Each structure stands twice: as structure tokens, then as C-alpha cells.
Amino acid sequence: DMGGHDTYMHKEITEQVDSVDRVLRGRIDDRFSTVHLGGLNLDAREARAVRRVKILGCGTSYHAGLIGAQMIEELARIPADAEPASEFRYRNPVVDPHTLYIAVSQSGETYDALAAVQELKRKGARVLGVVNVVGSAIARETDGGVYVHAGPEVCVVSTKCFTNTVVAFALLALHLGRIRDLSVADGKRIIAGLRKLPEQIAEILRDEEHIAKLAAEYANAKSMMFIGRVRGYPAALEASLKLKEISYIHAEAYPASELKHGPLALIEPAMPTVAIVPDDDLLEKNRAALEEIKARSGRILAVAHREQEKADHTIVVPKNEDELDPILMGIPLQLLAYHTALALGRDIDKPRNLAKSVTVE
Ligand code: F6R
């Protein structure tokens, strides 16, 4: 049932006000400025002994993992990184007993992610899951984890589950942080930020008509460049994937700082850039990248916390705490991909060549 929407994708994008509320519900502990994650199965002593976090997933789940790794580094100060599950599994990785492994999957059935979990388990590693589908294979085979409670996702491309997965990582990062060195004041600050998310998502959704107009304006692009820096980079990767999947427009995602090392050669009017420009300590650096693109007559659509003069257009996103900004930056980009595909008459819920869950190697 699409509940009055023309596609499941649209329904699922607009459901995010409620689905984000669900991943938070019952988990916030104001007394200790932390969160409770019932199924984690990792006590405080074990959490303190973790020396590294390695996150594994595929596609959109990998991108959510990249954001999760940054959150864990920032809030818990544990070195963390993410890698595509299939790459990990084929390179005979060193499995380290002090590393906490986390498998991320909407379906919980993606074969590459499941095989990575099985390989890790066989070698005695501690593996958690950040999974949407309750009782799925990855949920069963991991030692514990966090359910993301996005609800059923029908559209082949992932939207609300991506957002909820990133929020689940924020919860995990806060939890690990408060067991380690994150202060009460910072814990309170992050909790206040988390509580603002549903209303801020509603605010982004109210901007849909504006985003649809911009999508129509850029839908004639041959190819699109997505750039971001640090917190903005995984959002760029995810936005680029979403656009490719449903509009079939070729897209590239680069760290803004890498532009000058090659991809700047691609910039011309037929290749617009979507620039993710949060109001954080990298704002000036990001503005400099916009100038470089303008100097090569590139068109720029900025996704930012305020109007960007250097850009041709800006989608303004509400500001949250710096560490939580990646959660909201993704949502207007889902709408942008959606309306681009709609303008091009694509089969949005069932893009060609793709399946909802990839249970083969
Ligand atoms: C992107 C998309 C895919 C999946 C990937 C992993 O919109 O849907 O990239 O994210 O196949 O699937 P799960 O999360 O079910 O493991």
C-alpha cells in the first residue's frame, strides 16, 4: 500500500519523520546522558577494551558505515573505518582480537556482508550487526547489535533505512563515548541534537517543491559531480549512488580536496556539481572549492546550512550539532535524485538491473 504516494520511494522518504523517531524511542537515558542499546551484548568493560572499530557493508549500507565510523571516532575517540564487505572478505584481512567488527545491512541477507560475518566469526572475532530486518541472517549470526527500526522498505533503493542506520550509529557512538571519555555536557548536547531530528526532517520535507524545481533544472546533465569534505564526503557518495541508481545519470563523488588532483578536468557547464557545504570548521575550505569550480564555468547546486553566494542554487538544510549534520544532509539529496528520476520518466521503485537484496556472490 503506497498510502496515496505514486511510488514507494516517495512514501519512504516522507516517512522519515516517524522512522527516525522509532530508532530513538526508548533508548535515551537522560540521567546518565547516554543511550541504552538492549541487544548490544557488549558490557562496559568490553567496550573499554575495544581498540579499533571496523564497519562492513555494501552499497548504501557501506556509506552509512562510513558516516558511522566518523561518528565513532569523533564521539568515542576509537579509531574506526568502513570498508565494502566484499573487498574485506576477498583480501584475506588480518582479524584482530581488539577490533570490534560491525556488519551493516538493511535486509540482513546480503551475501557479501553475511560471508564477511561468517569469516570473522570463524576466526573468533566479536561481530555486531546494525540491521533493519529483525531475525534476518546477519542479525542471527552476529553476537549482538542495534536494530535500526526503519520499518519495511519496499523500494529497491534505500532511503529511510539509510537515515535510520546513520542515527543508530550516532546512538552507538554516543554509548561508546559515554563509557569512555565523552563528557556529560557533550552527551547532553548530542542527545538534544538527536531529539531535534524529527522536526528538522519535517522542515526539509516542506522544501520538496523547491527541490523538485531544481531537479528539473539539472535533469538534462550528462553527468554530475558530488563533492564533500570529511563529514560531507560519505553524503556525496550516497547522493551520487542514489542518482545513478534511479535516474541513470552518470555521477562521480569526490572529496572536495581531491578535485584539484584530477577531476577538475571534467568540470564544464554540462557537468554540474552538487556541493555539500555544512557550516562547520571546514566551511571556508569548501567555499574555496566552489570558487575553483566557478572559475571553470561549472554550475553549482549547494546543499548547505545557509545560502552560498558562489553557488547557482542552494538547498538550505537545518543545522544540528556538527557531528550529526550528515544525518540531515542526505535527505534533500534523496529528494533530488527522486525528482530527477521522475522528470526523466524512470521506473523509480524498480530501477533496471537492480534487486532489493543481493543474496548471491
Ligand atoms: C542502494 C541499495 C543497495 C543496498 C546494498 C546493501 O540504494 O539499495 O546499494 O544498499 O545492496 O543492501 P543491504 O543493506 O540490504 O545489505
Tell me the CA–centroid distance for residue 109 and ligand 1, in Å. Answer: 10
Name the closest-CA residue to atom 2, ligand 1: 157
Residues annotated as catalytic (active site), given as ranges: 356
pLDDT value for 359:
82
CA distance 220 to 294: 19
Name the closest-CA residue to atom 6, ligand 1: 58
Hey, which of 158, 161, 165 would you mutate to test ligand 1's pocket, going by the most ligand atoms within 8 Å of its Cβ?
A: 158
CA distance 348 to 247: 8
Q: Which three cell numbers stand for residue 347?
A: 521506473
pLDDT value for 3:
87
Name the closest-CA residue to atom 3, ligand 1: 59
Tell me the CA–centroid distance for residue 7 and ligand 1, in Å. Answer: 18
CA distance 327 to 306: 17
Tell me the CA–centroid distance for residue 57 and ligand 1, in Å. Answer: 8
Strand, helix or coil at 255?
Answer: strand
Hey, which of 55, 56, 60 would you mutate to test ligand 1's pocket, going by the most ligand atoms within 8 Å of its Cβ?
A: 60
Q: What are the residue ranges in the chain where pLDDT is below 70?
A: none
Name the closest-CA residue to atom 16, ligand 1: 105
Judged on CB neighbours under 10 Å (0-12, 13-18, 19+), 314 is buried
Name the closest-CA residue to atom 9, ligand 1: 59
Q: Which three cell numbers stand for residue 61?
A: 549500507
The CA distances from residue 149 to 24, 46, 66, 132, 275, in Å, are 9, 25, 20, 6, 30
Tell me the CA–centroid distance for residue 107 and ligand 1, in Å. Answer: 8
Tell me the CA–centroid distance for residue 158 and ligand 1, in Å. Answer: 6
Residue 168: CA count within 13 A, CB half-sphere: 33
pLDDT value for 292:
93
E strand or H helix that includes residue 329: helix 325-343
**Per-residue pLDDT tens for 137-170?**
999 999 999 999 999 999 989 999 999 999 999 9
Tell me the CA–centroid distance for residue 61 and ligand 1, in Å. Answer: 6
Angle 91-97-99 from CA coordinates, rounded to 5°: 75
ipTM > 0.90 for the complex:
yes
Hey, which of 7, 8, 9, 58 would you mutate to test ligand 1's pocket, going by the most ligand atoms within 8 Å of its Cβ?
A: 58
Q: Which three cell numbers stand for residue 34?
A: 547516554
* Ligand 1 site residues, Cβ closer than 6 angstroms: 58-61, 105-107, 110, 113, 157-158, 245, 357-358
With both helix axes pointing from N to C terminus, report the angle between 325-343 and 59-76 in degrees, rounded to the nearest 10: 160
> If we measure between CA atoms, which residue out of 260, 259, 274 comes closest to residue 214?
274
Name the closest-CA residue to atom 10, ligand 1: 60
pLDDT value for 102:
98
- For strand 28-29 and strand 34-35, is the pairing parallel, antiparallel, or unpaired? antiparallel
